[in-house]
């Protein structure tokens, strides 16, 4: 929930996108993003991007190879990431780490009261975890459990993942959000730039860790390869991120339909991700992806998702919930959370 003062100021701007844009740009100023906007021609998107998106990618790559920032054995992954907008890492994390995490999660859920929060498509606001809340809502997920769970941090900061995050972000990654799923999300195909809101809107990465072998029909992750290169969809003429008060439901529906139209125009079929336990997928902030419908009611689809921004960028919740600005952890393993510690517990 937004702090009341911020909500009051924001309401003044919701009806005027131009004013909103000016105030938003000033309030969430980020020097690196400002530079990206000034050199707009360097990226396919007017909202900038990662260095791997740059139109002069080959020059950038040569420089980084010369400086020893990129190794020869990363070249294939880099070019697949640049062209497809995702990278699969087979067998990236140990089964033992996953089992430790699932055990610790059960312990945190069983605490009375549990410190964890749940969000869902049918809950108006994040709710404290209880088995009833979790099971009684659609698309339930536990958020940011890394705040309490050391084994979640061990997974989300596993070197096989952070090595690639650091390579693509060209900086240390900062974990800003996680979602722990037991079943498929059935979330419509979307681009995270709309919902995972940052002050550098194209400078973050999503990571999906398979906590078990994923079976067809359990709501597997689906995505449109190459969709990170599609043109920008603009909310209220100016924005990459969606704001329900400013943009309304109709724009959200238009955008979701636009995604499938873009794919149809390019004859781009939807791909499905059927990982084995321990496999990982990294995806670009503009890659269109979602959760397939669940056809197999008996099956779980356990996964842990992380969203990370580049060091120096910030999630927008640092502005609309200033009490959640604090960073935690140590170098190479830093995180922040929109939920914890809850303001009521301070």
Ligand X SMILES: O=C(O)CCC(=O)C(=O)O
Residues lying near ligand X in the complex (CB under 6 A) are found at 179, 181, 184-185, 187, 192, 206, 221, 289-291, 303, 305
> For 221-251, b where at least 16 C-beta lie within 10 A, e where not — what string?
bbbbbbbbbbebbebbeebbbbbeebbeeeb
What minimum distance in Å lies between the beta carbon of 232 and ligand X?
Answer: 18
Q: Nearer to ligand X by C-beta: 158 or 289? A: 289
Question: Which of 60, 262 has the CB closer to ligand X?
Answer: 262
Helix axes 4-14, 17-27, angle to 10 degrees: 140
- 303 to each of 153, 160, 189, 265, how far by Cα in Å? 14, 17, 17, 32
- Output 25 or 225, the one with its CB closest to ligand X: 225
Least CB distance from residue 192 to ligand X, whole Å? 5
* Smallest separation, CB 219 to ligand X (Å): 6
In 10 A of CB 139, how many CB atoms?
Answer: 18
- What is the C-alpha R_g of the chain? 20
Distance CA 340, CA 144 (A): 8
What is the rounded distance in angstroms from the CA atom of residue 235 to the CA atom of residue 252?
Answer: 8
**Residue 169 or 281: which CB sits closer to ligand X?**
281
At closest approach, how far in Å is the CB of 175 from ligand X?
A: 13
DSSP 128: E
Asked whether 170 and 81 are in contact (CB, 8 A), the reply is no
Q: Which residue is nearest to ligand X (CB)?
A: 291
Closest distance to ligand X from the beta carbon of 216 (Å):
14
CB of 333 to ligand X, least distance (A): 20
Residue 17 or 206: which CB sits closer to ligand X? 206
Please report how many Cα atoms fall inside a 13 Å half-sphere around the Cα of residue 337, on the Cβ side: 20
Distance CA 17, CA 247 (A): 9
Which of residues 22 and 121 has its CB atom nearest to ligand X in the complex?
A: 121
Judged by beta carbon, residue 220 or residue 247, the one nearer ligand X is 220
**Smallest gap, in angstroms, from Cβ of residue 130 to ligand X?**
22
Q: Can you tell me the distance from the alpha carbon of 21 to that of 23, in angstroms, rounded to the nearest whole number?
A: 6
């Amino acid at each position: 929930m937004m702090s009341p003062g911020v909500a009051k100021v924001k309401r003044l701007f919701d009806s005027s996108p131009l004013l909103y844009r000016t105030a938003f740009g000033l309030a969430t100023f980020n020097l690196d993003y400002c530079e990206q906007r000034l050199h707009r021609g360097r990226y396919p998107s007017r909202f900038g991007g990662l260095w791997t998106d740059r139109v002069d990618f080959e020059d950038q790559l040569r420089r980084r190879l010369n400086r020893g920032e990129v190794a020869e054995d990363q070249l294939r992954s880099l070019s697949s990431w640049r062209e497809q907008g995702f990278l699969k890492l087979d067998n990236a994390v140990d089964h033992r780490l996953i089992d430790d995490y699932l055990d610790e999660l059960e312990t945190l859920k069983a605490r009375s009261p549990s410190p964890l929060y749940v969000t869902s498509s049918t809950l108006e606001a994040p709710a404290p975890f209880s088995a009833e809340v979790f099971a009684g809502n659609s698309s339930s997920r536990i958020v940011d459990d890394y705040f309490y769970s050391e084994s979640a941090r061990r997974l989300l900061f596993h070197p096989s993942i952070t090595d690639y995050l650091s390579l693509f972000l060209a900086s240390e990654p900062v974990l800003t959000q996680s979602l722990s799923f037991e079943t498929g999300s059935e979330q419509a195909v979307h681009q995270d730039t709309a919902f995972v809101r940052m002050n550098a809107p194209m400078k973050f990465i999503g990571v999906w860790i398979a906590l078990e072998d994923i079976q067809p029909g359990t709501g597997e992750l689906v995505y449109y390869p190459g969709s990170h290169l599609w043109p920008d969809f603009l909310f209220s003429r100016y924005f990459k991120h969606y704001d329900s008060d400013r943009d309304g439901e109709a724009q959200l529906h238009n955008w979701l339909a636009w995604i499938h139209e873009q794919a149809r125009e390019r004859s781009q079929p939807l791909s499905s991700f059927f990982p084995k336990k321990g496999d990982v997928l990294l995806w670009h902030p503009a890659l269109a992806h979602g959760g397939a419908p669940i056809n197999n009611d008996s099956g779980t689809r356990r996964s842990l998702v992380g969203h990370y921004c580049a060091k120096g960028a910030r999630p927008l919740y640092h502005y609309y919930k200033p009490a959640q600005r604090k960073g935690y952890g140590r170098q190479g393993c830093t995180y922040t959370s929109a939920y914890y510690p809850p303001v009521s517990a301070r």
